[in-house]
Structures are given as structure tokens and as C-alpha cells.
Amino acid sequence: MAYWKCRLQLGIRGIMPFTMSLPNQWFDTPNIHLCTVNDFEALCKLKNIDILERTVVDHTHRKSTLPMRLLPNLFGEIAIYRFCRNSV
């Protein structure tokens, strides 16, 4: 994860790295499933899941601040979602 190409994908695009040495998507790995807000929301779209509500909080579960709302991948520590499967 410290390799510059991995950091670039995470830092610039806001998604978990996908490289030759990390060939699986974050949700399809044989080990722990780390993801970003962007990764999770892309998975929801792929799986036809509607996000009804999202809030981003810090490690003490305090509500999101302006920086967390503007850049949740950078400043948020925990993302909490309310969602449902799209019936279409």
C-alpha cells in the first residue's frame, strides 16, 4: 500500500489501489476488506443499491464537520450509510 502508484490511486482518485500486485478489487480480496467512501459508493451502484443517506463521523462518532462533508475520503474516519436495494 505504500508504493507510490498505490498512494496515487488512493490520494488522487479516492479509490483503493488496483495494480498487478494487488489484482483484486477491494471487495473481492481473500483478506480484510478496506475501502474508501468512493469505493463503497461505486460498489453500491454496481450492485444496484440505492444510498438513501450518508454521514461521515470521526472516531468519537461526532457529526461531520465542513472538511468531512467537502472531502469525506480525506477527513472522515467512519462513514455510516442507510441504503436499500433498487427494485428496478
- Model confidence at 3, pLDDT cuts 50, 70, 90, reads low
Model pLDDT for residues 65-82, shown as the tens digit of each residue: 888 888 887 788 888 999
Exposure pattern of 23-45 as b/e (b: 16+ CB <10 Å)? eebbeeeeeeeebbbebbbbebe
> Nearest-5° angle of CA 33, CA 49, CA 5?
40
Instruction: Retrieve residue 56's grid coordinates.
Output: 461521515
Nearest CA among 2, 84, 1, 6 for reference residue 47: 84
Map out the domains of the chain as residue ranges: 4-85
- Model confidence at 30, pLDDT cuts 50, 70, 90, reads confident
Q: What is the mean pLDDT of the chain?
A: 84
- In this predicted structure, what is the pLDDT of residue 88? 65
- Residue with the bigger pLDDT between 65 and 47: it is 47
pTM for the full predicted model: 0.68
